[in-house]
Amino acid sequence: MSTTEYAEIFAEVKVILERFVDVSEKIDEETELINDLDLDSLRVMEIVQEVEDTFDISFPLNELSSIRTVKDFVLQVQQEIKA
C-alpha cells in the first residue's frame, strides 16, 4: 500500500479487526482493543500478523503494551509505514 493516509489505514485496520471480533461490535477510533473487543493475546498477535502482511511492515512488539485504542494502533501502523 503506497499511501500513508490515516483514514485509509483506519479503514483497512477496521476491516481486519472485524474479521476477528463479533461484527455487531461498533469499532471506532476510541474502541479499546482489549476491554471493548475482548481480544486475548493470541488474537492480538494474529491481528498484528494480518496488519504486517497488509501494510508490508514489521510491527514493533514492544510497542503493543502502550496501545489501548484502535486510534493508538492505527497511529503506530502509520508511523511504521513512514519509517
* CATH number for the domain harbouring residue 58: 1.10.1200.10
26: left (phi over 0), alpha (psi -120 to 50) or beta: beta
Reduced to 3 states (helix: H, G, I; strand: E, B; else coil), residue 69 is strand
- pLDDT tens for 21-79 read 976 768 999 999 989 998 888 999 999 999 999 999 999 889 889 999 999 999 999 99
Between residues 69 and 3, the one the model is more confident about = 69
Provide CB contacts within 8 A for 51, sequence distance 6+. 13, 16, 57, 59, 77
- Residue 74 counted as domain residue: yes
- Residue 1 counted as domain residue: no
Quickly count helices (H) and strands (E) in the chain: 3, 0
Range of the domain at 17: 6-82
Q: What is the pTM of this model?
A: 0.89
Q: Looking at the 3D structure of the chain, how many domains does it have?
A: 1
- Residue 14 counted as domain residue: yes
